[in-house]
Structure 1
Amino acid sequence: MPHAKSADGTRIAYWSQGDGTPVVLLAGQANSHHWWDGVRADFHAAHRTITFDYRGTGESDKPDEPYSTEGFARDVIAVLDDLGVDRAHVYGTSMGGRVAQWIAARHPQRIRALILGCTSPGGPHGVERGNDVRRSLARPGPAGRQALLELMYTPTWLATHPGPHNTLGDPSMPLHARRRHLAASNQHNTWDVLPDICAPTLVVHGSDDLLNPAANAARLAGRIPGARLELTPGARHAYFEEFRATAGPLVLDFLEEHDHGSA
């Protein structure tokens, strides 16, 4: 696979598939491009998809140094530069949504339309998950993994989809990279720059998301000028996969609206 070189020399692996208006798909914390495997093909009727492995994951370099969501955004720009893509839609979910906020605020000329899924502004204005959720995720071994699964998907879906589940983290990540990703996500705070976002923006969230509480969606939509808010009823964190039959067309219709407009 090709690699782009970020400003600090880190090599970032990326994948470009399909034809049409490009859309960058950004995965969650400590995940590689495989996060999108279950739904990526849904975009290819009208769009070229661009995914990449965050530094610390997959086939990208894994330096043991501080990471940040703003730094991940610069890595995305390096990928677009390497591909010769001037402007693209950007669809970020979970930590990828945090990265997408920085792209839209710092590099507005590179974005056609912005979609922020199951994400948060972070900082003091972000709504944190409950202590009970934190405790469940901190349990060692299979118990913690099961807790994460149940935060991602409903029991009904899990009963008929035994896995493997690509949203549970990149198993190849070294421990130092996992810690760096967690710190980057925890230190995220875009509240002051959200009003600078000028791209057409859709905020999407599962109504039953406890991993990243759904109240964050309203905070983002209220802070970004002209943003549209859509909650997916009954969905948990991985709404885009379990509820693809409703969330997918919602996203694709929004992208189609802005395929030829200016950002």
Structure 2
Amino acid sequence: MLKMVETLRKNQIAVQDVGDGRPVILLAGFGLDHTVWDAQVTMLSATHRTLCIDLRGTGQSDKPRLGYTLSELTADVVGVADALGLGSFDLVGWSFGGQVAFNLAARHPERVRRLVLVGSNGVRGCRSDEFPFGRRRDRLEPMLVRGETENRPASRRATIAAGFANEPNPAVLDYLTAVSLQMPSWSALACYTTMLDADLISEIPALTMPVRLIVGSEDPVHPVQGARWLAERLADGYVLEMPGCGHYPMFEAGAMLDHGLHQFLDGDPEVLVPQARGRSE
């Protein structure tokens, strides 16, 4: 069921709330919404209260002119959890949603039971001297801004297509582009800045909960090397690498993604996450 929840900051945030049991919150990637998790909700809601939140500026949530910092996006998610009476919960963040999830886990570790980062390193949207993985900001940002201002539909479609390891199914690409275009330019441009400005490396020690990183071996957006780098620095981090998969595992490797989520969220973290930190499955 899709419901609108008003946060303390007076934003209406859309939440798909399905199933019963221990709560798990899912956050989609840049510009996308709860519908991308359809198969995962079908699987998880058999045993979990499964909540998919449309981040501010996306899907059915409010799209204000301002308010897209990582802190504000995180506050929306916490506000939804508070409004729905959730204490602690499992948290899954994909791509840009992974940055929001990482920030929430660092700021509110008592709320996050287990954290899953899908197609995300969580800490940065581009490379730096300390984190030498992913794309260069000086090349990426002008391309994204130019595309958004000159030909938004074509740019969104091309950006999405470039994330797949292989040529995507045209129907899937049409669908993802249509969902993405619900995000207006003012929201997208602000979130590009937030994504590329983010540097949460100093927050790594705050994450003491079990963390699983589920990343495609061919992900061109957040390379698996960055996930391994993060896992080695986490207190309890583990990488599940999906062979031949790019940045869209729910469409490229759905069965493997579902298995990884189910195994981690429903299993014993002491068994699932070995002491050898940063190890890949």
TM-score range, shorter chain: 0.7 to 0.9
Which of the residues 194, 208, 225 maps onto 1:198?
A: 208
Match of 2:264 in 1: 254
Moved more, 143-152 or 171-180: 143-152
SS at the partner of 1:50?
strand
Farther off after superposition, 6-15 or 199-208: 6-15
TM-score w.r.t. the length of structure 2 is: 0.81
Instruction: Answer yes or no: is the 8 Å Cα contact 1:133–1:210 preserved in 2.
Output: no
* Compared CA separation, residues 256 and 225, structure 1 to 2 (3 A): same
C-alpha distance in 1, partners of 2:245/2:154? 22
Residues 161-197 of structure 1: CA distance to partner in whole angstroms, max 9, x if unpaired?
5554337753222221111111121121110011110
Aligned to 1:27: 28
How far apart are the structure 1 equivalents of 2:91 and 2:264?
12
Scaled by the length of structure 1, the TM-score of the pair is 0.86
Query: In the alignment, is the contact (CA less than 8 A) between 2:215 and 2:240 conserved in 1?
Result: yes
Q: CA deviation at 1:119?
A: 1.1
Runs of 5+ consecutive residues of structure 2 not aligned to the other structure: 270-281
CA contact (8 A) 2:161 2:167 kept: no
Task: Quote how far apart the aligned CAs of 1:212 are.
Answer: 2.0
2:163 matched residue in structure 1: 152
Tell me if structure 1 keeps the 8 A contact 2:165–2:247: no
Structure 1, 53-62 or 106-115: larger mean CA deviation = 53-62
Distance 1:258-1:3 versus aligned 2 partners, 3 A rule? farther
Aligned residues: 258
Give the structure 2 partner of residue 128 of structure 1: 134
Q: For the residues of structure 1 that align with 2:192 and 2:249, how far apart are their CA atoms? A: 22
Q: Are 1:68 and 1:188, in contact at CA under 8 Å, matched by a contact in 2?
A: no
More moved, 169-178 vs 50-59: 169-178
Distance 2:117 2:18 in 1: 21
Q: Which runs of 5+ in 1 are unaligned?
A: none
1:145 Cα offset (Å): 4.8
Deviations 1:138-157 (A, max 9, x none): 66577645533433334365
RMSD: 2.6
Question: Amino acid of the residue matched to residue 110 of structure 1?
Answer: R
Q: Does 1:183 align with 2:193?
A: yes
